[in-house]
Structures are given as C-alpha cells and as structure tokens.
Amino acid sequence: MIETGPLLVMAILFVPLGSAALLALFPDGRLTGQLNTLASFFTLLASASLFRIRPDPSQFLIVDDVNIVFIVLNTFVAFTTSVFSASYIAHEVETGRLTPTYLRFYHAMYQTLMFAMNLALLANNVGLMWVAVELATLTTVLMVGLYRTPAALEAAWKYFILGSVGIALALFGTIMVYLAASAVVGEGLNAMAWNVLVRHADAFDPHLLNLAFVFLLLGYGTKVGLVPLHAWLPDAHAEGPTPISAVLSGLLLNVALFAVLRFKMVMSANSGALAPGPLMVTLGLLSVLYAAFMLYRCHDIKRMFAYSSIEHMGIITFAFGMGGALANFAGLLHMTYHSLTKSAIFFSVGHIAQVKGTQNMAEIRGLTVSHPLLGWGLVLGAMAIVGLPPMGIFMTEFLIITSTFARQPVLAVALVIGLLVALGALLLRLNGLAFGAPHGKEAPSQASFVPMFAHLTLVLAAGIYLPPALVNWFQHVARLLG
C-alpha cells in the first residue's frame, strides 16, 4: 500500500518545484499565468488533504499540530494570489512594464518561492529550515528588482544586504542550538530535529540557548520586519510587483515568524533559559509605535500598507511575547487574519495602481465614485486591517489588549496608543483615497476581483463565527507555545 501521507508532503514540495522548472521553459506567455494558478491549486489540494491524512515525521520533514494550519494558509493565499497575478501580470506585459522573458522568470521564481516557503514550514531539521528561508529570501530579492528601475534595484539591494545579514545571524543561532542539543542528544541529524529538540529541551545548557535565541530573534526578526531591522520592508513592498508585495506581507513574514516561534517553543521548554517573552514584547511594541507614527508620513500607497504590515507583525510578536494561552491564541488568529486581509488589500492596491497609473496617494481620489467595486473593496479592507468590528482583526486585537491589561497595564496602554495612532492615519488616508471627487486617469480595471473579495469574506465570516473545530485547534497550539 502506498503511503499517502508522505506522498502528499512530497506533492506539496515538488509540485511547485516542478512547475518552476516547467514555467521557466514554457514559451507561450499567455498560458504561464494559468499554469501558475493550476500548480498552486494542486498544491492547495495536497495540503488540505493533510487535515485527513497525517504522515509520520521523518528526519527531514514533519507535519504536526503547529505547522499544519500554516501550510494550508500558505498554499491557500498562494493560490488566490496566483489567480490575481495571472490577470495583473498580463496587464503589466500589455503596458510594457514587463517583457515576456521576465514573465517566465517571474512565474518560475513565484513557484520556487512557494517551494521554499513550504519547505521552511514542513522542515523537521533546523538547518533545512534555514536553507529554505534563505532560498525564499533569494527569490524575493530577485523578484523585487524585477522592474529594473533604479528605485527597484535600490530596494532589491537593500533587501538583499539586510536579509543576508539576518540570515547569517540566524545561522549562527542555529549552530548554537545544535551545540546545545548535541551535548545532550549526541551528534548527528537527531540534534537538529524539531521533535527531538522540544522533547529534550529541558536538559540543554541555558546559557547557550540564551545566546542562540538572541541571534535567532535578530536574524529571523529581520525577515519578520521588526523595528529596528525593518529598513528593507517599505522599499521592497513599494518597488516590487504587487503580487509579490501580497506574498511578502501575507506569507513570508509569517514564515519567518513561524521560525521564531519554533525556537521560542524550545526556549520555553527549558526552565533555566532566559524568558524569551520580554525581548519579543520590546521589539513588538517598538515596531507598533514606530510604524504607527510613520504611517502619517507616507505618500506612496504601497509604502503605507507596508508600514501597516510592520505594525501588525509587531502586534503579533507582542502577543507571543506576552505568552499565556489567551495571548498566544490571539496571536495565531491574528497571523491568519492579517495574512488574508493584507493580501486582499494589496490585491486592491494593485488594481488601483493599474487603473490610476500611479502609486502616489495625492493623485488618487474618489475611488468609490469612479470604480465602485474597487473603492468599496478598499474601504472594507482598510476597515478590516485597522481593527474595526465586525472583522476578525478587531477580535484578536481586543483579546491581546485584555490579556495584556490583566498582567502589564502600562504595556497595554502603549499598545492601544499605537493602534489608535495607526487607525487615525489609515482612516485619514482612506478618506482621501476612496471618497471625494475623482480625478486623474481612469482606466478600466482588468484584473480579477474574486481573490480580494474571497479573502475579505473569509475575514468577515471568521469575525462573526469561527467553527469550534478551528477554535479548539488554535487553543491547542496556543497551549503548546507556552
């Protein structure tokens, strides 16, 4: 009998990889978008089936409670983004911003990025996860610089330098963890496997773990976009193609945070180690406050939403830093909602940039009048990301604030200030963008609206009613996170 479990896992990894190779060679430009979507759909099917059939962990790959929802989320957003990207990129080729060669390159890199992210989520080996995150960084760097304008090249270069430094620091932390583990478990692959690490974490040398965690938080934290290591994020989002901004915000930041969470689990299991909480709380709060104030100074729409991503990543890190069942639960939910909402917003921003021909917010006015579907989609998305009820993010922010208030009221107040400042900035901008008399170019929108509204509907539905099975699962993982 063929083992379906491992087969599914292999499918999740090798469908993207295979299609990357295929897409790089496929000559016909019009079909590459469709092929991309098809490949993403199959990957989504494979990962959804993991809910039913769970393979046993191997030396290199593992599917456990912690990563299964992230895998499904990852493949789902990848699928919807590929739907959006198919029509969006076709329009870019029409306007001449992209040549057909770069089209093939783009799609091949897209699938390679999916492969890398899935591998990072599925990896049971610390080193393998690191290699996967590095590969993801590399592919996104190449894609950020896709348009080859000076600003795009600068953004790609900055991203490369900062990302590589982060990767290097993360590798040093990984080596430290291996050192701590090999003293207890023995040398070899066992000392790098997650399931083994968590089981034996209590016996590790706490000082080594402390140093390792500092390096890991700084290293992977650069990829999450935590202040003060965030400098690459606004440029990368503003200059890359919009589907890539959606994937960066919605998926890659999550994958990097997932890596930090895995290590946090190992740290929490060790009683002598430094509590990882205060570090994460500090970085998270700093990110929220900094991003909230920077929102006022943005003139480029993508840049503004990039800072919003930094803010939300800060909130999530803050929540996981506070720890405890409720805050962890809220953090996990927030990761999911933010993924869906931010990618929906970037879909709409992509439409806007195409119809208006600019990303400068001063030139975009009155969207609800000129393009009603698009305008109201943006309004809905902005309301969701800002945390207004009944959208899901309101509930998670509420949970985080209340659970923080019970333990550290001062921090809760600081967080609320940050959230309110961000709310003010985003709503102020939204007012100018969506309402008022329209002016500027008004090309008809040609890309598909379905992904955007699909995401927003999900977030709205989840805000009102979350199925008990899902709630139970999230609570279970929240307890595991410690």
Partner 1 sequence: MDHLSLDVAHMFAGGLVLVSFMLLYQDRMFGLLNIFALHAVVVSLSVAWQAYIQFAPHLYITAAIALVVKAIIIPVALHRIIVRLGIHRTIETVGGIGLTMLAGIGLVALSIMVMLPITAEAGTLTREDLAFSLAVILLGLLMMISRRNAISQIIGFMSIENGLILAATAAKGMPLVVEISVAFSILVALTVIGIFLFRIRERFDTVDVYELERFRGGHP
Extended beta strands in 208-259, E state: none
Residue 125 touches partner 1, criterion: CB under 8 A: yes
Are the beta carbons of 48 and 315 closer than 8 angstroms?
Answer: no
Q: State phi, psi for 125 to the nearest 5 degrees.
A: -110, 130
SS3 148: coil
**Site for partner 1 (CB under 8 A): which residue of 66, 113, 128, 246?**
128
Q: Nearest distance from residue 187's CB to partner 1, in Å?
A: 3
Closest CA to 162 of 218, 259, 232: 232
Q: Nearest distance from residue 363's CB to partner 1, in Å?
A: 11
Residue 93 touches partner 1, criterion: CB under 8 A: no
Q: Nearest distance from residue 376's CB to partner 1, in Å?
A: 27
- Count of residues interacting with partner 1 (CB under 8 A): 47
**Burial class, 362, CB count within 10 angstroms (exposed 0-12 / middle 13-18 / buried 19+):** exposed
Residue 178 touches partner 1, criterion: CB under 8 A: yes
* CB-facing half-sphere around the CA of 43: CA atoms within 13 A: 33
Q: Nearest distance from residue 431's CB to partner 1, in Å?
A: 19
443, two tokens: 């090309």
Sign of the Cα torsion 113, 40, 304, 258 reads negative
Q: Which stretch binds partner 1 (CB under 8 A): 36-44, 80-88, 165-173, 435-443?
A: 165-173
User: What angle, rounded to 10 degrees, do the helices at 372-386 and 392-407 form?
Assistant: 10
CA 234 from centre of chain: 14
Query: DSSP letter string over 88-126?
Result: HHHHHHHHTSS-HHHHHHHHHHHHHHHHHHHHHHHB-BH
Sign of the Cα torsion 336, 144, 75, 217 reads negative
Residues near 469 by Cβ (< 8 Å), separated by ≥ 6? none
Q: How far apart are CA 356 and CA 434, in angstroms?
A: 13
Q: Which stretch binds partner 1 (CB under 8 A): 116-124, 204-212, 363-371, 375-383?
A: 204-212
Q: Which x/- pattern, by CB under 8 A, does the window 312-351 give for partner 1?
A: ----------------------------------------
Residue 129 touches partner 1, criterion: CB under 8 A: no
Residue 157 touches partner 1, criterion: CB under 8 A: yes
Q: Which stretch binds partner 1 (CB under 8 A): 131-139, 221-229, 384-392, 437-445?
A: 131-139
Query: DSSP letter string over 189-216?
Result: GGGGBHHHHHHHGGGS-HHHHHHHHHHH
Q: Which x/- pattern, by CB under 8 A, does the window 359-398 give for partner 1?
A: -x--------------------------------------
Cβ atoms within 10 Å of 70's Cβ, excluding its own = 26
Q: Which x/- pattern, by CB under 8 A, does the window 244-283 give for partner 1?
A: ----------------------------------------
What amino acid occupies position 386? V
User: Residue 48 or residue 363: which is nearer to partner 1 going by CB?
Assistant: 363
Q: How far apart are CA 53 and CA 19, in angstroms?
A: 24
**Site for partner 1 (CB under 8 A): which residue of 171, 399, 415, 477?**
171
Q: Nearest distance from residue 124's CB to partner 1, in Å?
A: 12
Q: Nearest distance from residue 409's CB to partner 1, in Å?
A: 32
Q: Which x/- pattern, by CB under 8 A, does the window 216-235 give for partner 1?
A: ------------------xx
Residue 299 touches partner 1, criterion: CB under 8 A: yes
Are the beta carbons of 393 and 385 closer than 8 angstroms?
Answer: yes
Give me the residue label for tokens 């030396």: 59
Q: Which stretch binds partner 1 (CB under 8 A): 184-192, 284-292, 436-444, 448-456?
A: 184-192
Helix/strand/coil percentages in the chain, nearest 5: 80, 0, 20
Residue 192 touches partner 1, criterion: CB under 8 A: yes
Q: Which stretch binds partner 1 (CB under 8 A): 13-21, 203-211, 454-462, 473-481?
A: 203-211
Q: Nearest distance from residue 264's CB to partner 1, in Å?
A: 20
User: Residue 304 or residue 384: which is nearer to partner 1 going by CB?
Assistant: 304
Q: State phi, psi for 375 to the nearest 5 degrees.
A: -60, -50
Are the beta carbons of 308 and 291 closer than 8 angstroms?
Answer: yes
Q: Which stretch binds partner 1 (CB under 8 A): 6-14, 116-124, 162-170, 271-279?
A: 162-170
Residues within the interface to partner 1 (CB under 8 A) = 125, 127-128, 130-131, 134-135, 138, 142, 145, 148, 150-151, 153-154, 157, 160-161, 164-165, 168, 171-172, 175, 178-179, 182-183, 187-189, 192, 205, 207-208, 211, 234-235, 238-239, 294, 297-300, 303, 360
